[in-house]
Amino acid sequence: MSDKIVGILGGRGGQLGRMLAASASLLNVKVVVLDSGDYAPAKQVVASTSKELAHIDGSFSDPAKIRELAEKVDVLTVEIEHVDAAALEEIRVASEGKNFAIHPSPSTIQIIQDKYRQKQHLASHDLPVSEFVAVESSVESIATVAKNLGLPLMLKSRTLAYDGRGNFVLRELGQAQDAITALGNRPLYAEKWVPFLKEIAVMVVRTADGQVQSYPPVETVHKNNICHLVFSPLRSRDASLSARVRSVAENAIKTFTGAGIFGVEMFLMDDGNIFINEIAPRPHNSGHHTIEACETSQFENHLRAILSLPLGSTTMKVPSTVMLNLIGHSSSMAEITNTVNVALTTPGASVHLYGKSECRKGRKMGHITIVADSDAQLRSRLRPLLESLPSSSSEEIEKYASASREPGFSDPTPLVGVIMGSDSDLPVMLPAARILDRFKIPYELTIVSAHRTPDRLVEYARSASSRGLRAIIAGAGGAAHLPGMVAAMTALPVIGVPVKGSTLDGVDSLHSIVQMPRGIPVATVAINNGMNAGLLAVRILSAGIPTLIDVMDEYMKSMENEVLGKVEKLKEVGWEKY
């Protein structure tokens, strides 16, 4: 625990300070907020408990107000990086030797608030960034850079940029003057165009002495340059991706000074390469889901870090989560209210409204976090929310919250993979698919032949877990190698279905599948019993979806009743006429 008083340099949105303050109250940590107005979002959720600790009405860029705040508190932190870093540095120097700290350090804020310096800093530490170069605010300078880096070219303001403001995509040289005007004649730099596959972010918390700990990576989706959706965990065919992006993010944050949480935004390229896009030295929109979905929220971990308390676990406590930002559509709250009302009828959805005094187009008014027992459940829960947004296109809804699979086609977010060595195995494997349909388990069904498509086998097995599968059903006949070879290349449970061939009555398949050597198990079911493979998959999934136990109990009860019905019939009709 800590008796230190925390000062929050707040402003712009105010929601980060609000969530930080709410987190502080859980630990009885006293908070003083500097922000404009008496009813700023953070001030609403933390009433001053004394005159001395009254909140301050003012701007994060006013040195006098910053000093006033610093005098009241033991630790100063920021919810926005566009603060007066020079003033912070002066305060830091003046307080040296006193029991007072600023987190993250003013020098970290200084580096990060100038995006060009930020890129230089990252590049100088051999961290992966795309090509970038300084550029003058002149048509000639832009033309020279465009010649080197190519078109389209990303022109960015070095400072005071957020939510895409301060970015200009130069598609042809003739737009150079437009760009200069749009970016307000501020200092610029240029980045080589990055045709990324996905945007990824990692929240990293750093202690004052440089220990770092990262949250599981997330996929972020932007819309009109504003964060729109954040999915976690990150799914990928590349089983090593999560570890790689965590490592890049952690290494990046190690190069800075001061304590706190950082958001690291990255681009994933087609070839698997990663580039760091931008770093935020504060709680970040791509970490809001941590409140409901992780063992410790980003806000609490920021507090712990700046108060020199032990860091909290960053592990996810739910299987799947998504965050949806509630962005003002106009000056009316009507659209926000409409989506919130949908959220109130959505299981697993938590509403966070920010108490902002008025709605504006493009303003972050709140967010909704959904948790679910699987990606499939998550996306079915997300769908009505996306449908409620006036800005949602049907393509977007299909992409991020596709409706359940059409019969006969694979689900986009499967929990079970049903594979077979040959299309001739399909009649045996279809009953497995029908069982999964009946239990509403999302699955994919395809052909993977151990002997005829060995590369496909390797890719399928190696990527199964990182794509989100939790079990695989593999059917094969004869020298039935598929189930065992898949099991050798995944840590998931593999169910083997021996398919009866034209000779040996399936005993060849059975023995090929069941008699695995020590170390690699295959869960073998009876010969040709695809149905039992489906039922076994449902039972296996119940280890992560406990409600399936009740559903399976009901299924077993219905089987019992069916047989008891036959008992009755046999009694009534007599066995000779039966």
- Residues 274-313 close enough to bind its own copies by CB under 8 A: 292, 295-296, 304, 309-310, 312-313
Cβ distance to its own copies smaller for residue 325 or 529: 529
Asked whether 51 and 57 are in contact (CB, 8 A), the reply is no
Beta bridge partners of 132: 191
Burial zone of 500 (CB within 10 Å; 0-12 exposed, 13-18 middle, 19+ buried): middle
One symbol per residue from 81 to 110: x for binding its own copies (CB under 8 A), - otherwise; what is it? ------------------------------
Burial zone of 424 (CB within 10 Å; 0-12 exposed, 13-18 middle, 19+ buried): exposed
Cβ distance to its own copies smaller for residue 119 or 470: 470
Give the number of C-alpha atoms closer than 13 A to the C-alpha of residue 3, restricted to the C-beta side.
1
Give the count of residues interacting with its own copies (CB under 8 A).
87
Report which of 428, 430, 446 is spatially closest to residue 438, judged by C-alpha positions: 430
Report which of 105, 41, 35, 96 is spatially closest to residue 65, judged by C-alpha positions: 35
360 vs 42: CA distance, rounded Å: 19
208 part of the interface to its own copies, by CB under 8 A: no
SS3 content of the chain, % helix, strand, coil (to 5): 40, 20, 40
- Out of 92, 246, 302, 352, point to the residue binding its own copies (CB under 8 A): 352
Cβ distance to its own copies smaller for residue 140 or 562: 562
Q: How far is the CB of 365 from its own copies (least distance, A)?
A: 9
Q: How far is the CB of 524 from its own copies (least distance, A)?
A: 4
Asked whether 495 and 463 are in contact (CB, 8 A), the reply is no
Rule CB under 8 A: which of 473-512 touch its own copies?
A: 488, 491-495, 510
Q: How far is the CB of 252 from its own copies (least distance, A)?
A: 23
Cβ distance to its own copies smaller for residue 124 or 345: 345
The tokens describing 205, both together, are 């918390």
Rule CB under 8 A: which of 355-414 touch its own copies?
A: 355, 366, 371
Rule CB under 8 A: which of 530-559 touch its own copies?
A: 531-533, 535-536, 539-550, 552-553, 556, 559
39 part of the interface to its own copies, by CB under 8 A: yes
Rule CB under 8 A: which of 8-37 touch its own copies?
A: 22, 25-28
CB atoms within 10 A of CB 440: 13
CA distances from 22 to 15, 44, 349, 450 (A): 10, 10, 19, 55
Cβ distance to its own copies smaller for residue 119 or 381: 381
Q: How far is the CB of 166 from its own copies (least distance, A)?
A: 30
Q: How far is the CB of 164 from its own copies (least distance, A)?
A: 26
Q: How far is the CB of 107 from its own copies (least distance, A)?
A: 28
CA distances from 548 to 467, 492, 535, 552, 558 (A): 22, 19, 11, 6, 15
514 part of the interface to its own copies, by CB under 8 A: yes
